[in-house]
Structure 1
């Protein structure tokens, strides 16, 4: 029979790995009586672990939350995952770097030597490619998250991509971290439509707006809506292409920002964009299908230049020596 201390550690690990346990199931897994389980539960409570108990047919035990964080039991892979996560936790969030590093230092002190070597090896061969990062204060993120949980509207001043400032009221639904930035997917109360807001451009006002009833997500996929929104937000040139190909085939070739509408089994419409008409002309060729396009006046000359360039290349291709 395992010792009492070892059994307590195993019991704690079980409570941390699953939300609810019946006393009989714990006793069976530990190889002890239900009375011993009750005694061990009291021991864990005495050590500061808030083990909750419920009675009745569906009763059992669960590990509740606590005012003070008690020690956690982590297996090897969990410990490595936490350490790696702490290394990158401060990305995009101000006021969090020092806290993450303190937590990482405490964790590394407790790692056994075999895990220290694995973590050091991973960090030694990992290179971080620097890129543009826009940070936001951690208290702004937690305030928004609390409003999402409580279904409370947010009031805030917002600076648009064109530099225009205005006051907005929105029903917040989801925070999304993508492309090194934080975004809020929300229902814009004044515009009566879904919008994606960059959190670093928001200046929250207090108090919050009134509570709201949840709405159906756009197209049933709020995260996909954000991906499409932030993907198309930087387009300077936009066009509408009538493509002679099935919608499914085009969807498989384009990024989420491109909206594809089915016309019939062999035709679709793609709402496309890019930084310039010249780049859009090149990108349209990647559809690998015949198309006509409605776009800005300089798109037709750009398409002609691409066509002429490829025609010259095709004519010269037969003269090259092999």
Structure 2
């Protein structure tokens, strides 16, 4: 249980308690250690100004003369929780209706209720917080609805796919596994029956989608996580190696605070540069992110990835060696 959940749980317990609550019961309710209980009570009393009274022997409760007047302050959410709630809300609003919006309508109601609860019953002006989409690609809403239907109904899906990298057109029959929203775009993680392997498809490149009557083949969650979450970005798979990237002291101030991968390793070097190591399967997305930093980033290893970056930079500079147009 996260701290914010424990604080709210403590507030509910103390608000309804007629007698002091023993620490042992709080440990059980909050699923945490005795020391954590004391820290959370101290935070509730000292930082949030809650009318907590009592001690470790007799137990704790709210002062009966003050508890009716105390509420947890305002919208007490972490930045990650606030972003998650509002992002989910705005993704649903942008989905253009259809099966996904209908399926997630109860979630929309729960989000609004949760925001109201955190604001003490006052209306939360969510329009004051924006989640701005970045480089969102246009979707065929009909294809999207068919994809979402197949995912939710657990049915196989047939569609035409136009690969962005090669512009090749292929016909696919897949068992949908997950619908993934990543970097403001939708991807279908699926088992490709003809190729007998897991693949990720950009939904904006899918056309002529048609759910089939055959039930989808479900793969174990462990296998999906191992294949789709083990490497860098959406172009996942079993890692084929680790990349080492050096960032200048100027860029280090940004990169050190960024989350690139769940298994990343980072450290500051004596000269102020930042060294980042992370596993990857396909270098395409990693190269795009590294080259985003321009001269402030350098791929050190592996040599093949370093050479790919050098070639891309050479091609880019060549565009400026000739007249524009």
Larger Rg: 1
Question: Which interval holds the TM-score relative to the shorter structure?
Answer: 0.3 to 0.5
TM-score, structure 2 length as denominator? 0.42
